[in-house]
């Protein structure tokens, strides 16, 4: 993990999550903005996968358990695609809320990953 990149991801995931939940409760169906937000979260997660593979080779390794980190990262990376598919299949306001819940969950996972990489000792 790279610290500033993680902060960028958190700064995208949490506002995107809140935005989608609010828009969903307000009755908006999944649209470019909400689906695009989840797509952006996913792109950043895929970037995080690359970073997390390369960083230890450059001397930046997690202080905590690498296995635990990767379980979180793989789980997080599965979530936005599932949410987006959900939004395509069920075009209701509740799908928009689901997009939001998914983004918030990814945010929480990113925060846990941050702790495992930078704070926790294995």
Partner 1 sequence: MTTTTSTRSTGLGRVLIAVYGLLALAATGRSVFQLLDDFEKAPVAYSLSALAAVVYILATIALIAPGSRWYRIAVLTIGFEFVGVIVVGLLSIYDPVLFPAKTVWSGFGKGYGYVPLVLPVLGMIWLYLHRPSAAKAAPTTSAAA
Interacting residues toward partner 1 by CB under 8 A: 65, 67-68, 71-72, 74-75, 78-79, 82-83, 86, 90, 92, 94-95, 97-98, 101-102, 105, 108-109
Select 53 or 74, whichever has its Cβ closest to partner 1. Answer: 74
Select 82 or 119, whichever has its Cβ closest to partner 1. Answer: 82
Query: In angstroms, what CA-CA distances link 26 with 21, 30, 37?
Result: 8, 12, 17
Rounded to a whole number of angstroms, the minimum distance from the CB of residue 4 to partner 1 is 26
Select 28 or 58, whichever has its Cβ closest to partner 1. Answer: 28
Select 3 or 91, whichever has its Cβ closest to partner 1. Answer: 91
Tokens in use for 75? 């789980």
Residues composing the chain: 122
Query: In angstroms, what CA-CA distances link 87 with 6, 17, 39, 104, 110?
Result: 26, 14, 12, 16, 22
Rounded to a whole number of angstroms, the minimum distance from the CB of residue 58 to partner 1 is 25
- Closest by alpha carbon to 22, among 99, 120, 90? 99
Tokens in use for 27? 């009755």
Rounded to a whole number of angstroms, the minimum distance from the CB of residue 28 to partner 1 is 15
Rounded to a whole number of angstroms, the minimum distance from the CB of residue 108 to partner 1 is 7
How many CB atoms lie under 10 A from the CB of residue 21? 19
């Amino acid at each position: 993990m790279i610290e500033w990149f993680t902060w960028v991801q958190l700064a995208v995931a949490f506002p995107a999550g809140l935005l989608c939940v609010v828009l969903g409760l307000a009755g908006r169906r999944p649209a470019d903005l909400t689906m695009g937000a989840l797509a952006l979260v996913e792109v950043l997660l895929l970037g995080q996968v690359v970073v997390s593979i390369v960083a230890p080779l450059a001397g930046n390794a997690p202080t905590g358990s690498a296995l635990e980190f990767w379980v979180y990262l793989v789980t997080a990376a599965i979530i936005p695609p599932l949410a987006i598919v959900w939004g395509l299949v069920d075009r209701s306001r509740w799908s928009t809320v689901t997009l939001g819940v998914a983004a918030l969950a990814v945010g929480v996972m990113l925060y846990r990953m941050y702790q495992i990489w930078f704070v926790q000792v294995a």
